Amino acid sequence: MSDVIDNKAHHRFELEVEGHLATEHYKLDGNVITFEHTDVPKELGGKGVGSKLVQGALDQVRAAGLKLIPQCPFVKAWIDKHPDYQDLVKP
């Protein structure tokens, strides 16, 4: 798998796998980023692509010093399973 890329022009994180593109759409407002929607093509379902995408995106959020609003249910559930990322969530 390749690395997660922040496509700022399209307001989304991207992960290309096997010629398909998984995306995490976001909205940035100052130092707060809202993850709105995770999209993983059905061809990539069940391969852990969504998890790799979210983790890669969250690592970039942390490196940029941003706070997160996990509006997307997939992201919220992922953070619940990975408490070491809980500190990124905006109180």
Distance CA 38, CA 87 (A): 21
Looking at domain 5-88, its CATH architecture is: 3-Layer(aba) Sandwich (3.40)
Instruction: Give phi and psi for 30, each to the nearest 5.
Output: 65, -120
Q: Is the per-residue pLDDT at 58 higher than 70?
A: yes
Q: Of 1-5, 17-21, 74-78, 83-87, which gets the smallest average pLDDT? A: 1-5
pTM for this structure?
0.95
The long-range contacts involving 73-81, CB below 8 angstroms and separated by at least 24 positions, are: 74/38, 74/50, 75/24, 75/35, 75/38, 78/50, 78/51, 78/54
For the chain, domain boundaries: 5-88
